[in-house]
Amino acid sequence: MVSIIIINFNTKKLTEQCIGSIIKSTSCDFEIIVVDNSSNLSEKFFSELPFIKVINAENKGFGHACNIGMKNASGELFLLLNSDTIVHDKAIDRCVEYINFHEDVGAVGCKTLLSDGTLDHNCKRGLPTPEASLYYLLGLDKKYPKSPKYARYHATYLDENEINEVEVLSGAFMLIKASVIKEIGGFDESFFMYCEDVDLCLRISQAGYKLMYLPFAEITHLKGQSGLNSKNRFVIKHFHKSMLIFYNKHFKKKYGILVTAMVYVGVYLKMWLAYLKSYLK
Tens-place pLDDT, residues 93-122: 999 999 999 999 999 999 999 999 999 999
Whether residues 180 and 264 share a domain: the answer is no
First to last CA, the chain: 46
Does residue 28 belong to any structural domain of this protein? yes
In eight-state DSSP terms, residue 168 is B
Does residue 86 belong to any structural domain of this protein? yes
Whether residues 55 and 177 share a domain: the answer is yes
In the three-class reduction of DSSP (H, G, I as helix; E, B as strand; rest coil), residue 41 is classed as coil
Whether residues 16 and 74 share a domain: the answer is yes
Confidence class for position 50, pLDDT limits 50, 70, 90: confident
Whether residues 85 and 164 share a domain: the answer is yes
Whether residues 144 and 167 share a domain: the answer is no
The strand pairing partners of 258, in sequence order, are: none
Confidence class for position 278, pLDDT limits 50, 70, 90: confident
In eight-state DSSP terms, residue 125 is B
Given a cut of 80, whether residue 33 has pLDDT beyond it is: yes
What DSSP assignment string belongs to 21-37?
HHHHH--S-EEEEEEE-
Does residue 52 belong to any structural domain of this protein? yes
Spatial CB neighbours of 276, under 8 Å, sequence gap ≥ 6 = none
Q: Under a CB-based contact definition with an 8 Å cutoff, are residues 21 and 233 in contact?
A: no
Domain count, the chain: 3
Q: Under a CB-based contact definition with an 8 Å cutoff, are residues 201 and 124 in contact?
A: no
What is the pLDDT at residue 230?
56
Strands 30-36 and 164-165: unpaired
CATH at 53: 3.90.550.10
Whether residues 100 and 205 share a domain: the answer is yes
C-alpha to C-alpha distances, 269 to 118, 142, 234, 273, nearest whole angstrom: 30, 22, 17, 6
Given a cut of 80, whether residue 42 has pLDDT beyond it is: no
Given a cut of 80, whether residue 44 has pLDDT beyond it is: no
Burial class (CB in 10 A: 0-12, 13-18, 19+), 24: exposed
Rounded (10°) CA dihedral 17, 20, 21, 22:
130
Does residue 37 belong to any structural domain of this protein? yes
Whether residues 48 and 114 share a domain: the answer is yes
Q: Which tens digits make up the pLDDT trace of 144-156?
A: 999 999 999 999 9
Which amino acid, one-letter code, is at 220?
T
Given a cut of 70, whether residue 72 has pLDDT beyond it is: yes
Does residue 15 belong to any structural domain of this protein? yes
Burial class (CB in 10 A: 0-12, 13-18, 19+), 208: exposed
Does residue 228 belong to any structural domain of this protein? no
Rounded (10°) CA dihedral 206, 209, 213, 219:
-90
47 or 20, higher pLDDT: 20
Enclosing domain of residue 269: 233-280
Distance from C-alpha of 39 to C-alpha of 47, rounded to nearest angstrom = 18
Whether residues 246 and 206 share a domain: the answer is no
Confidence class for position 194, pLDDT limits 50, 70, 90: confident
Distance from C-alpha of 218 to C-alpha of 6, rounded to nearest angstrom = 17
User: How large a percentage of the chain has pLDDT more than 90?
Assistant: 78
Whether residues 100 and 210 share a domain: the answer is yes
Whether residues 132 and 149 share a domain: the answer is yes
